[in-house]
Amino acid sequence: MNKRILSVLSLVAICFITLHSCKKKDNTPTDPTRNYFPIVLGKYVTYNVDSIYYYQNTCSQYEVKSQMKYVITDTFTDRNNFTNQLTYIMDVYRRPYDGGFWTPVRVILVNPTTNSINYTQDNVKYVKLMFPIVQNFSWKGNVNAPVNDSDFAYLKNWNYLYQNVHMSYNTEYLNFDNTVTVMEDNESVNYPAVDSGVAAYRTFAKEVYAYNVGMIYKEWTHWTYLANNKQCVNGYTVVMKAIDHN
């Protein structure tokens, strides 16, 4: 009888050890650098946004100051997305710089995979981040963009590059101790001094992400100049700086 009891106790001990080992293995921490883009329902970041639009036909520019809020609001499963995995809905709202009611302006779809964050905005797909985040790692972030369309041709062959990993960053409104900069593109011809007889263009794209916050800074510039037309450029510059988050 004692032998039987000992056998049962031994079996229970073996099962406990096995289950405990499996449990420990299943709870292995995921890549901590994924926290540069936390995907949690209700997560938001608010920005002050300064925009300048250049109009070639009228040789004029129009400046807009506004605030935007990015909020993760819902999820759904879409079999047409990057990986057939869960898609997160990020609603974007806008209001005047000096306050007022938030107005919905667009919806961004966020698809996290095992090694990336895929991001669809205005029907253009971007590979925003790759994991793990490592200094000087680069990738083709716009590989899924419709670059054969003339409106998006300037997105072709962008090499995203990680810089300043784990460095602090100040947006002029908030300071963040742990960030990573993504240099997306920096191209120019006949810039900054535009020669009226030579075609010119300027494209600059940069984003900064803070640990446990998400994107805290964004700067996108794209303009072109056609020689022998009018001595004016056509395009835009948008700068977003985080002023609040949860």
Does residue 19 have a pLDDT over 90? no
Assign 2 to helix, strand or coil: helix
Task: Give the mean pLDDT of 124-142.
Answer: 97
Task: Give the mean pLDDT of 114-139.
Answer: 96
- 172 touches 241 (CB < 8 A): yes
What tens digit of pLDDT does each residue of 80-97 get? Answer: 655 567 899 999 999 998
Q: Specify the pLDDT at position 23.
A: 43
Q: Specify the pLDDT at position 14.
A: 44
Q: Specify the pLDDT at position 24.
A: 42
List phi, psi (to 5°) of 100.
130, -170
Q: Which residue has the tokens 């993760």?
A: 72
Task: Give the mean pLDDT of 226-232.
Answer: 70
State the pLDDT confidence band at 1, using cuts at 50, 70 and 90.
Answer: low
Separation between Cα atoms, residue 61 and residue 237, nearest integer Å: 11
Number of Cα atoms under 13 Å in the Cβ half of residue 222: 10
Structure tokens at 158: 């962008």
Amino acid at 26: D
11 CB neighbour count, 10 Å cutoff: 10
What tens digit of pLDDT does each residue of 33-79 get? Answer: 999 999 999 999 999 999 999 988 888 899 999 999 999 999 998 66
Q: Specify the pLDDT at position 204.
A: 97
Separation between Cα atoms, residue 202 and residue 234, nearest integer Å: 10
Query: Which H or E run includes 78?
Result: none
Cis peptide before 192 (omega within 30 of 0): yes
Does residue 216 have a pLDDT over 90? yes
Separation between Cα atoms, residue 156 and residue 206, nearest integer Å: 16
Q: Specify the pLDDT at position 80.
A: 62
Q: Specify the pLDDT at position 199.
A: 80
Separation between Cα atoms, residue 68 and residue 210, nearest integer Å: 18
Domain boundaries, the chain: 31-245
Separation between Cα atoms, residue 135 and residue 162, nearest integer Å: 5
* Mean pLDDT rounded to a whole number for the chain: 86
| Contacts of 52 by beta carbon, 8 Å cutoff, 6+ apart | 61, 62, 63, 64, 236, 237, 238
Cα torsion through 75, 119, 240, 58, rounded to 10? -120
Structure tokens at 208: 């900064």
- 234 touches 192 (CB < 8 A): no
Task: Give the mean pLDDT of 201-220.
Answer: 97
Separation between Cα atoms, residue 207 and residue 185, nearest integer Å: 10
Helix, strand, coil shares, percent, the chain, to 5: 15, 50, 35
Q: Specify the pLDDT at position 195.
A: 63
Q: Specify the pLDDT at position 84.
A: 65
